[in-house]
Amino acid sequence: MANSIFIEKHRDPSCRARTGTLFLPHGEVETPAFMPVGTNATVKAVEPADLDAMGFNIILANTYHLFLRPGPDIIAKAGGLHGFSGWKKNFLTDSGGFQVFSLSQFRKILQEGVHFKSHIDGSSHVLTPEKVVDVQVAFNSDIQMALDICAPWGETEKKAFRAAMLTYDWAKRAKSQWIMHRENGYQGNLFGIVQGNFYEELRKLSAEQISELDLPGIAIGGLSIGEPKEAYIEYLELTSALLPLDKPHYLMGIGTPDYIIEAVRNGIDIFDCVYPTRTARNGLLFTSKGQITIKKAIFKEDFSPIDPECSCHVCKAYSRAYLHHLFRNNEILYSMLASQHNLHFMADFVGKIRKAIEQDRFEAFARAFMSGYSEAAAAE
């Protein structure tokens, strides 16, 4: 691409961890950056203004769900996802492929694309690489992902090869469609996705193929899909080392501190996961000393904040005992407060990571953080 959307600012001398800036249509994003997941163009239980106040400049929305309901036409009429949702900063939209491929009994993969039935009403649909680009253009996505095939953990090498080759073919077709829309005024960016499952040579081949397309950014797919942590680390290290340094690197679907630290250590710039908000709604809260399960009886008379070291509004105003009470009574306010706290924790966490990289002390920060976090998590 003639114009890069990413500038690397500083690299930690001890590893591949780096800070940088993403230049996107709806504002700059300082990296490494965590993206909250707003599946239906909303981060559950959190208003856009609160996300803005926490310092987030990009969130993720789900193409599969929004394609089915309310549909790209309605979103386009509303002014894209920004006009529809009220979130005025950046949107990254996934391709919908992961959701489609998880519905194995409802879909059929062909060279043309994917035929599938809606999980909502059973209606039949076809998603081709070109159509996925068109849908995300209707959303006015700032970053859109090419349709890919995420082969499951334990897949045979033969099937993983076919998935990676289809992913490459679809990425080429997506690029042609994206360029057409760019020539007609669309400003969003297309990212390709490296696949290859857990086969070293296949990962290398996929990384080479996707890199040669010279798209604005590149993502690593097919990790954190149920494999052992050792396999995650091994294939993260392998794949990330193959990515072009002048592109932003996106690792899809990670959201716990230990996985994020490994990602940043390997030069990943952006990542997303539903974990912080989904677990918040189910009673799991992040603290600097580890995760706590607020529904436990030990918190019934605990009038301290969720995390005494946290500066969020929730920790300043409410106690563990009150959050315990809200959760036990299924109060809607619980989901709101818990989600705000966990997202604030994530924003603060990656902010500290950026600072540590800039000061050439990323590994020291990682060791200190995980030591305290792991001990508390084990004790809870």
pLDDT given for residue 107 in this prediction:
84
Q: How far apart are CA 334 and CA 306, in angstroms?
A: 13
Distance CA 156, CA 205 (A): 16
The span from the CA of 293 to the CA of 329, in Å, is 15
Q: Which residues make Cβ contacts (< 8 Å) with residue 359, sequence separation at least 6?
A: none
Confidence of residue 47 (pLDDT cuts 50, 70, 90): very high
- How does residue 367 score in pLDDT terms, banded at 50, 70 and 90? very high
Averaged over 10-39, what is the pLDDT? Answer: 98
> Which structure tokens are listed for 249?
């690197």
pLDDT of residue 119: 86
Q: What kind and span of H or E run contains 35?
A: strand 33-36
| CA trace torsion 275, 120, 177, 37 (10° rounding) | -20
Q: What is the mean pLDDT of the chain?
A: 95
Q: What is the DSSP string of 273-329?
A: ESHHHHHHHTTEE--TT--EETTSGGGTT--S-S-TT--SHHHHH--HHHHHHHHHT
Write down the catalytic residue from 12, 142, 272, 307.
272
pLDDT at 2 over 60: no
375: pLDDT strictly greater than 70: no
Task: Give residue 104's pLDDT band: very low, low, confident or very high (50, 70, 90).
Answer: low
The answer to whether residue 1 scores a pLDDT higher than 60 is no
Residue (of 268, 224, 271, 278) closest to 247 by Cα position = 268
**Per-residue model confidence as pLDDT tens digits over 169-184:** 999 999 999 999 999 9
Q: Kind of pairing, strands 114-117 and 143-145?
A: unpaired
Q: Quick: pLDDT tens for 249-285.
A: 999 999 999 999 999 999 999 999 999 999 999 999 9
Average pLDDT over residues 283-291: 96
Q: Which of 94, 142, 148, 348 is catalytic?
A: 94
Whether 94 is a known active-site residue: answer yes
pLDDT of residue 162: 97
For residue 70, give the nearest of 40, 104, 38, 98 by alpha carbon.
40
Q: What is the per-residue pLDDT for 226?
A: 93
Report residue 377's pLDDT band, with 50, 70 and 90 as the boundaries. Answer: low
* 137-162 pLDDT per residue, tens: 999 999 999 999 999 999 999 999 99
Structure letter (DSSP) for residue 106: G
pLDDT score recorded for residue 96: 83
Identify whether 307 is a catalytic site residue: no
Residue 22 backbone class (left: φ over 0; alpha: ψ -120 to 50; beta: rest): beta
Q: Check residues 313 and 102 and name the one with the higher pLDDT.
A: 313
pTM: 0.96
Cα separation, 272 vs 33, whole angstroms: 9
Tokens 């334990």, located at residue:
154
